Amino acid sequence: MVALTPATCHAFLERFERLDGAVVETLTLDLQASTATLLVRAYDREAGDWRTLRCELRGELELRWHQAAQTSRVLLDDHLEIIWLEGRTYFVLDPLQTSTLPPTQWTLEIVRRSSCYLGAARAAWSSDAG
């Protein structure tokens, strides 16, 4: 797993095209371990093909997850924002927020108003492409 930090985030988002058009296949929660695992099918520029990403958020987990009725997978209509606030990592998947708000204007209140977000003390990723 590769740690997602402010220093590595830009390369991750560029490689996977900010997850624009990606499909969330699975969200698994382990509340006792305070871990969320997100499996996402996304386009990998380096591989020139679609890959499955595994994103893990660990430690002091918080989330809001809204999925429209009668859907089995969630298509990311816009893109993923990864925000660091107060020493925590937040994945914001709310298209109404990510398409209209510049990254410098994010606040914890705005993140927590989002319809879809995951937050934790740290995050990491891997893919089936390596």
What is the rounded CA–CA span in Å between residue 89 and residue 96?
Answer: 20
User: What is the radius of gyration, based on Cα positions, of the chain?
Assistant: 14
* C-alpha–C-alpha distance, residues 96 and 127, integer Å: 27
pLDDT in tens, 1-49: 999 999 999 999 999 988 888 888 888 999 999 999 999 999 999 999 9
> Model confidence over 71-109: pLDDT tens digits?
555 555 557 888 899 999 999 887 666 566 777 788 999
pTM, two decimals, is 0.84
pLDDT at position 120 is 96
pLDDT interval class at 119 (50, 70, 90):
very high
Amino acid (one-letter) located at 106: W
Domain boundaries, the chain: 2-127
Q: What is the pLDDT of residue 113?
A: 87
Mind listing the pLDDT tens digit for each residue in 47-62? 999 999 999 999 999 9
Q: What is the pLDDT of residue 80?
A: 80
